[in-house]
């Protein structure tokens, strides 16, 4: 009763920020993302009737802290629907730990796939799998399928799921993730969602989103990079505005973040390079371009921030089961 799965993280073009239900990770709004080919998690799960508790290993180390507890609580949900058995779980990331890349998206997409795959029966449908991933971490909902994905907020556990909007080869986009800082964030995503859900600007944001989502989907379908980039950058700044002006305020931007944002705008506005950025709940900058422009942008980023690590991503595949077990 063992299975392994690999899943990509994803970057949201329209963000999930604020929840209507914290137990089931039901979001306030629909969101749209692209899977990140270079940011993946591989997880092996073995259900073992001889175990008296779950054994969780992250990056080769047994974990007994909050991270292990979060995985065990998630396995409780699976046990409630399937078999009452404890599991051995090992998980590794392709990207360095503690860099602010959303490992919960790739992590819970891989965990859901491996944990259900290890029962040795056919996996539930893909859409059903997105609901299982969402119960672990909201953004993981968008990492089950490949390429460009839309998560429909819905209004209960049944109606909140993701669907692929375009496959990975639809558009050759690159996301250059510049790892600006490794210091842990002062306000976690979970806390951030709580603060955002009560924010006075949120009601206004919800009114603006349907038209923005429609326009973004149009730009993606037509591969219109300028319209796409304008919408994505504006969306990132609106969400940062809510983070900055929350109570308490979440200041995720570091000096290195801000200098990259200025640089991207000057490369675009002064040098005519088609490049835009987006941000998550952290200091890293996601620099978005068509892949033909990636080498030139890498040169410019290296010059501006010679010591910064860069993760170069294309639109990645969906979660998949395989036989390269971690134990």
Stretch that binds ligand DP6, among 42-50, 189-197, 207-215, 247-255 (CB under 6 A): 189-197
**Only segment of 15-23, 152-160, 195-203, 307-315 that touches ligand DP6 (CB under 6 A):** 15-23
**Is position 8 an interface residue for ligand DP6 (rule: CB under 6 A)?**
no
Contacts for 29 with CB less than 8 Å, ≥ 6 apart: 14, 16, 18, 153, 205, 206, 209
Q: Counting contacts by CB under 6 A, is residue 31 touching ligand DP6?
A: yes
User: Contact, 229 vs 297, CB < 8 A?
Assistant: no
Query: Rounded to whole angstroms, how far apart are CA atoms 47 and 45?
Result: 7
Q: Of 14-22, 83-91, 216-224, 245-253, which part binds ligand DP6 (CB under 6 A)?
A: 14-22
Stretch that binds ligand DP6, among 9-17, 58-66, 73-81, 244-252 (CB under 6 A): 9-17
Please report how close the Cβ of residue 239 comes to ligand DP6 at its closest, in angstroms. 7
Distance CA 112, CA 133 (A): 6
Identify which of residues 6 and 240 has a Cβ nearer to ligand DP6 in the complex: 240
The CA distance from 10 to 44, in Å, is 20
Should residue 36 be labelled a site residue for ligand DP6 when binding is judged by CB under 6 A? no
Tokens of 9: 């993280």
Question: Stretches 173-181, 186-194, 248-256, 264-272: which one binds ligand DP6 (CB under 6 A)?
Answer: 186-194
SS3 breakdown of the chain: % helix, strand, coil, rounded to 5? 40, 25, 35
Give the integer Cα–Cα distance in Å for 266 and 257. Answer: 14
In the complex, the smallest distance separating the C-beta of residue 90 from ligand DP6, rounded to whole angstroms, is 21
Nearest to 142 by CA among 105, 95, 110: 105
By C-beta, is 17 or 276 nearer to ligand DP6?
17
- Report which of 318, 304, 190 is spatially closest to residue 257, judged by C-alpha positions: 304
Per DSSP, helices labelled H in the chain are 66-81, 103-117, 126-136, 189-197, 202-222, 225-244, 255-269, 294-304
Q: CA 149, CA 61: separation in Å to the nearest integer?
A: 33
By CB under 6 A, tell whether 135 contacts ligand DP6.
Answer: no
Residue 280 binds ligand DP6 (CB under 6 A): yes
Would you say 163 or 190 has its CB closer to ligand DP6?
A: 190
Pairing of strands 55-58, 161-166: unpaired
Interacting residue with ligand DP6 among 88, 131, 193, 205 (CB under 6 A): 193
* Number of residues in the chain: 327
Q: Nearest distance from residue 31's CB to ligand DP6, in Å? A: 5
143 scored as a contact of ligand DP6 (CB under 6 A): no
Closer to ligand DP6 by Cβ: residue 254 or 274: 254
Residue 301 interacts with ligand DP6 (CB under 6 A): yes or no:
no
Min dist CB 104 to ligand DP6, Å, is 5
- Residue 41 within binding range of ligand DP6, rule CB under 6 A: no
Q: Does 16 bind ligand DP6 (CB under 6 A)?
A: yes
Helix (H, G, I), strand (E, B) or coil at 31: strand
Site of interaction with ligand DP6 (CB under 6 A):
12, 15-17, 25, 31, 102, 104, 137-139, 189-190, 193, 280-281
């Amino acid at each position: 009763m063992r299975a392994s799965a690999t899943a990509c993280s994803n970057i949201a073009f329209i963000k999930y920020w604020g929840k209507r239900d914290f137990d089931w990770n039901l979001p306030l709004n629909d969101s749209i993302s692209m899977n990140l080919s270079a940011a993946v998690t591989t997880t092996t799960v073995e259900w073992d009737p001889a175990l008296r508790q779950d054994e969780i290993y992250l990056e080769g180390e047994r974990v007994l802290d909050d991270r292990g507890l979060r995985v065990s609580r998630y396995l409780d949900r699976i046990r409630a629907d399937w078999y009452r058995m404890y599991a051995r779980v090992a998980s590794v990331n392709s990207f360095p730990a503690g860099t602010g890349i959303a490992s919960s998206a790739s992590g819970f997409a891989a965990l859901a796939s491996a944990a259900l795959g290890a029962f040795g029966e056919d996996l539930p449908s893909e859409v059903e799998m997105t609901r299982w991933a969402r119960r672990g971490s909201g953004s993981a909902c968008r990492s089950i399928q490949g390429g460009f994905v839309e998560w429909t907020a819905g209004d209960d556990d049944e109606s909140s799921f993701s669907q692929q909007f375009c496959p990975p080869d639809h558009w050759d986009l690159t996301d250059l993730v510049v790892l600006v800082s490794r210091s842990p964030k002062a306000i976690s995503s979970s806390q951030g969602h709580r603060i955002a859900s009560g924010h006075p600007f949120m009601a206004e944001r919800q009114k603006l989103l349907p038209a923005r989502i429609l326009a973004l989907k149009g730009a993606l379908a037509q591969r219109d990079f300028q319209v796409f980039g304008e919408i994505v950058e504006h969306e990132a700044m609106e969400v940062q505005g809510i983070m900055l002006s929350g109570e308490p305020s979440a200041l995720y931007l570091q000096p290195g973040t801000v200098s990259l944002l200025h640089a991207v705008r000057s490369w675009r506005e002064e040098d005519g390079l088609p490049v835009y950025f987006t941000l998550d709940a952290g200091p890293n900058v996601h620099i978005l371009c068509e892949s033909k422009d990636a080498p030139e942008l890498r040169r410019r980023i290296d010059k501006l921030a010679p010591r910064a690590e860069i993760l170069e991503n294309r639109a990645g595949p969906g979660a998949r089961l395989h036989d390269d077990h971690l134990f």
